[in-house]
Amino acid sequence: MTKLFYAPGSCALGIHVLLEEIGAPFELAKVNLAAREQFLPDYVKINPKSKVPALMRDDGTVLTEWPAIAAWLALTHPDKGLLSLEAEQLARTLESVDYVCASLHMQGFTRIWKPEAFAPTETDKAAVKARGQEIVDKGLVWFDGELAGKDYLGGATMSIADAALFYLEFWVAERLKQPLPVHLAAHYARMRARPAVAKALADEGLV
Ligand SMILES: N[C@@H](CCC(=O)N[C@@H](CS)C(=O)NCC(=O)O)C(=O)O
């Protein structure tokens, strides 16, 4: 059976949401990042990158990297409409996924949560964190504009881009305890109201 290696409230939450939306059977395997389980030999055998999410498929092969896992899930369940292959829609979806995963997560949140990874000395940490917050804030403004007048990033229906944006909104609202701009706040509430999202949050112990 498909198995998602995740840590509660991590970026893997977005993949968990997609699995719930798809509704096919899957198992959850928790990786305790605080206890550094991602570096234990048993997990390194599964994902040598020592990161979550990792998705073990039915044939035992493992897929890593949020955009790749999300695309594979969507494309193997085309009836769920989570990834349109129409050129403009596909390009816009990937534009949002990449901005969340590569820029706001990797460049923004990593600076906020792990400033030591970017700061040569202790005294640089505050400036690194501030730069991370700037990157996140700029992204939130962009996504807020994208969502004006729309329920989801692609329009009327949810795509993998909304699942990516959701984990980011979760971090801003629940981890940083910062207010979301108006359209993002509405999108976050709309996502949380989806049964699949509510189940993923509950199963990760986040409600
Ligand atoms: N590029 C990876 C990033 C995954 C990632 O950074 N995951 C974090 C959790 S949100 C993680 O596993 N951190 C553990 C660590 O860095 O030691 C992806 O897109 O899946």
Every domain of the chain and the residues it spans: 2-81, 87-194
Q: Which long-range contacts (CB under 8 A, 24 or more apart) does 57-62 make?
A: 57/2, 58/1, 58/2
User: What is this structure's pTM?
Assistant: 0.98
Q: Is the CB of 55 under 6 A from ligand 1?
A: no
Question: What is the residue-wise DSSP string for 35-59?
Answer: TTGGGSHHHHHH-TT--S-EEE-TT
Atom nearest to 51 CA in ligand 1 = 12
Q: Is the CB of 65 under 6 A from ligand 1?
A: yes
Q: From first to last of its 207 residues, what are the pLDDT tens digits of the chain?
A: 999 999 999 999 999 999 999 999 999 999 999 999 999 999 999 999 999 999 999 999 999 999 999 999 999 999 999 999 999 999 999 999 999 999 999 999 999 999 999 998 999 999 999 999 999 999 999 999 999 999 999 999 999 999 999 999 999 999 999 999 999 999 999 999 999 999 999 999 999
Structurally, what CATH architecture does the domain formed by 87-194 represent? Up-down Bundle (1.20)
CATH of 2-81, one of 3.30.70.141, 3.40.50.2300, 3.40.190.10, 3.40.30.10: 3.40.30.10
Place of tokens 């629940």: 174
Atom nearest to 114 CA in ligand 1 = 16
Q: Is the CB of 51 under 6 A from ligand 1?
A: yes
